[in-house]
Structure 1
Amino acid sequence: MDNKTPQLPLAGIRILDLTSAVVGPYATQTLADYGADVIKLEQQSGDIIRWISGHSPTPGMSGKFMHMNRNKRSLCLNLKTERGKAAFMKLAARSHIVIHNMRPDAMARLGISFGALSSVNPNLIYCNIVGFGSQGRYANRPAYDSILQGATALASLFAQNGNEPRYVPYVVVDRTAALMVANAIMVALYAQTRSPGPREIEVPMFESYATLVLSEHLYGESFDPPISPSGDKRLLDENARPVKTSDGYICVTTNTDAQVLALFDAMGRPQLKSDPRFNRALNRIDHIAEFFSLRAQEIAKHDTQYWLERLTQYDIPCMPCHTISSLLSDPHIADVGLVQKQQHPTQGTIRHLNVPVSMTGFSPTLRHHAPHIGEHTRQILTEAGFGQDDISTMLQAGEAYQSDPQDSAAGN
């Protein structure tokens, strides 16, 4: 690293990452973006998200995989073989963090439980990402995002107005839990500076997201006995959605009294500012359906551009209701450089999503693109102290695997 280049906040932290799909990889990419050396351990078939998230110029490099696995290196070991397992233990002994999203029984069968690894690394942080907490009756059940959207009552919220339950078309439980995982690991790293020693973390996705849904919608049932039904009516009303204009949709939210009064002026209905149903927040709770209905009627009278300009003039929070395509063309996205075209060694031109967080002394960079399966196996084993002959023997015996990205590119 150039002496003039600021050191990334997590430089020097080594993470052995056994996760796949979304929750684990998104968590470890967050840490990788801040400078951690994330070693992505895959089996020869690779992370499932390589294959179930659309096509790519070369096999196994789907867009979703690439957007969650940049700044990592890929290592392939067969943990069911003696030498593959020994190599893993050697890597675990020199890592700060081991993280997985397999069921605990599977980790125990492989002989890489917290107890086994902390015996070779007395300061290891060992993070279990599980579907359900180990102390409950659902422990060891498999879990996917859609399963948890239903189980945490999120899907049922769509049925509040006579619709059917449905999933949010975004893996919201996985993505949110991933941030909780990254947060827990950062706390554990800080705790190590005060009191060294092995630490085991468990992040249960079901309970973690259930807490969020309940904190949002428990509402009057927060009290015993309940003082009103559950559910935030401001969020569940049928008109609590993008508002239809004469030629499209607009997103507008007015939470404060001042914003609501300004909205009445913007709509040309200043007399409503004296209406006791709407001019105080506590009153609006009981008349929210009427307020939303009135808002919808007025906004339908003009086009989207009119309302964007009009509402901005009155300092009312509003934005266009983007599609994925129009979001990419949003001028603010261009201003901040969030999406940039990069040249990938094997995938051609790709849209790279930059880290939006800014911090003094922190300059997030694309250190290396998302890896092919086992792309860095020889490099990582060499760093761990294995000789080249030993590595070649492991590769030939199927105890490790090394891909050649150029061969993959040529194959297409």
Structure 2
Amino acid sequence: MSQETHASRTTGPLAGVRVIDMTTVFMGPSATQYLGDLGADVIKVEAPNGDSTRRVGPQGDLGLGPLFLALNRNKRSVVLDLKQEAGIAAVLKLVETADVLAYNVRPAGMRRLGLGYERLAEINKGLVYAGMVGFSQRGRYAKMAAFDDMIQAASALPTAMAQATDGVPRYLPTTIADRSVGIYAFGVIAAALYSRSQTGLGQSLEIPMFETMVPYVLGDHLYGHTFVPPQGGFGYPRVMSPNRRPYKTKDGYVCCLVYHDHHWKTFLTAVGQEHLLQTDPRFQNIRTRTEHIDALYQIVSDEMEKKTTEEWRLILQAGDIPVFPMHTFDSLLKDEHLADIGFIKEVEHPTVGKILDLGVPSEWSGTPPDNHRPVPRLGEHTEEILREVGYSDADIEDMRSRAVI
């Protein structure tokens, strides 16, 4: 566990857990930020030029661009040149008191650095060694590099987009693979920490992007091919319908989900077409509706254009039909519910000034987490962290003179 002096300054269910974060870009940093948000002491080990996302977007010249700010709060930054033996030695020293080491380079790269699991387990048998990789190391893709776009394509997400829209394959306009695998990796790491609490032993973990995203996508879209032989095609029809989209109203767009029997009865009654429940076999039950969902959603779409968003909100809410006006990025920042709970706050960052900070999306009655650390400048905590693990001022000055730090 990390030193008491630091743990005493933190709250949350993971207070006292120390994480060596050797990840970069999106996937790994998102996983380690979740750990830090819940109280872990996350030490981000960076090369002298830092995580590449530091330089993307406004304030990138200061190494604190918006993408980096979104993925690296509640962390401390230490710069080590791992091309030098002294840099590797510093990582090994950090490992002695660590609970988790997270990385997202290929395992062979970690072994070349002398940071493979076998060596680190000899130093710290309780270490949870978590590798976020592109592909399982047991298959033929093991050595391939992986990025979000590549994994989206590999897991057939652009195919689903094409089938559900205009026939043109597209990536989702968010780093869905990186962030989804980051969430899964966070859960896997937390589970391994629980296992260690029972056995006293750490272990090596491998969290591959491709194999995480395949069930993510096929859980919806294997569909008829779930059965052997197949009993239908690929794709959950309701989700794949081109008419599954926000509906245009007289004055904007609204999302509503007409799904259960009572939803359809309420909706068709509201638009004066309740007779369809008896006369149109497509409305008979959820199975027939799913088979014909594109045509039924077109009926909904046609009707929605006849009233305003507010009129539909009142009608549909009264009938217990889920409904929500479509946000823009700008209106999302002004959402009244998020304002009620203080989810989006202006905070003062010591380097770049005021920024918008998003809340931790969980509520804890006994060990509430607290965002206690702003996103660090590159190498901001190098000396502090090295002193914590036993380096003297003279040692640190020597390392600085040789550009190890």
Alignment TM-score, normalising by the size of structure 1 = 0.93
Tell me the residue number matched to 1:81: 84
Write the letter of the residue equivalent to 2:259. N
1:70 paired with 2:73, answer yes
Structure 2 matches for 1:166-181, cutoff 5 A? 166-181=170-185
For the residues of structure 1 that align with 2:403 and 2:36, how far apart are their CA atoms? Answer: 28
Q: Deviations over 1:211-237 (max 9, x none)?
A: 111111000000000010011111111
Instruction: Return the match for 1:105 from 103, 108, 133.
Output: 108
The DSSP-based 3-state class of the residue aligned with 1:10 is: coil
Instruction: Please list every run of 5 or more consecutive structure 1 residues that lacks an aligned counterpart in the other structure.
Output: 401-412
Query: Given that residues 261 and 279 in structure 1 are in contact (C-alpha distance below 8 angstroms), is that contact kept between their aligned partners in structure 2?
Result: no
Q: One-letter code of the match for 2:336?
A: P
Q: CA deviation at 1:263?
A: 1.8
Q: Percent identity?
A: 39
Give the conservation status (yes or no) of the 8 Å contact 2:39–2:370.
no
Contact 1:127–1:201 (CA under 8 A) maintained in structure 2: yes
Aligned residues: 399
Matched, 1:21 2:25: yes
**Residues 132 and 208, structure 2, Cα contact 8 Å, conserved in 1:** yes
Once the two structures are superposed, residues 234-277 of structure 1 have per-residue CA deviations (whole angstroms, 9 ceiling, x without a partner) of: 11111011111122211111222122222223333322333431
- Residue aligned with 1:119, SS: helix
Q: How does 1:44-59 map to 2 (within 5 A)?
A: 44-52=48-56, 54-56=57-59, 59=62
Find the aligned partners of 1:395 and 1:314 in 2 and give their Cα distance. 68
- Opposite residue 77 of structure 1, the aligned amino acid is L
Structure 1 runs of 4+ off > 2 angstroms? Answer: 1-7, 265-276
| Counterpart-to-counterpart distance in 2, 1:387 and 1:265 | 78
Where 2:401 maps in the other structure, the secondary structure is helix
Q: Is the Cα contact below 8 Å between 1:220 and 1:228 reproduced in 2?
A: yes
Greater Cα offset, 66-75 or 77-86: 77-86
Matched, 1:214 2:218: yes
- Give the superposition deviation at 1:2: 12
Correspondence 1:119 to 2:122 = yes
Contact map agreement 2:11 2:38 (CA 8 A) in 1: no
Bigger shift: 275-284 or 194-203? Answer: 275-284
Q: TM-score, normalised by structure 2?
A: 0.95
Structure 1 residues 5 and 83: alpha-carbon distance in aligned structure 2, compared to 1, 3 A threshold:
closer
Asked if 1 retains the 8 angstrom alpha-carbon contact of 2:75 and 2:376, the reply is yes
Answer with 6-15 or 117-126: which moved more.
6-15
Distance 1:3 1:368, change over 3 A: closer
Is the Cα–Cα contact under 8 Å of residues 130 and 203 in structure 1 kept in the other structure? yes
The correspondence for 1:269, drawn from 273, 288, 295, is: 273
CA RMSD between the two structures = 1.8
Per mean C-alpha deviation after superposition, the further-off stretch among 362-371 and 259-268 is 259-268
Unaligned runs of 5+ residues in structure 2 are none
Q: Which residue of 2 aligns with 1:362?
A: 367
Q: Does 1:229 align with 2:238?
A: no
Tell me how far apart the structure 1 counterparts of residues 66 and 286 of structure 2 sit (CA, whole Å): 44
Identify the residue that residue 260 of structure 2 maps to in structure 1: 256
CA contact (8 A) 1:104 1:140 kept: no
Equivalent-residue separation in structure 2 for 1:279 and 1:355 (angstroms)? 43
In the alignment, the residues of structure 2 paired with residue 47 and residue 2 of structure 1 have an alpha-carbon distance, to the nearest angstrom, of 24
Q: Give, in whole Å, the separation in 2 of the partners of 1:306 and 1:5.
A: 51
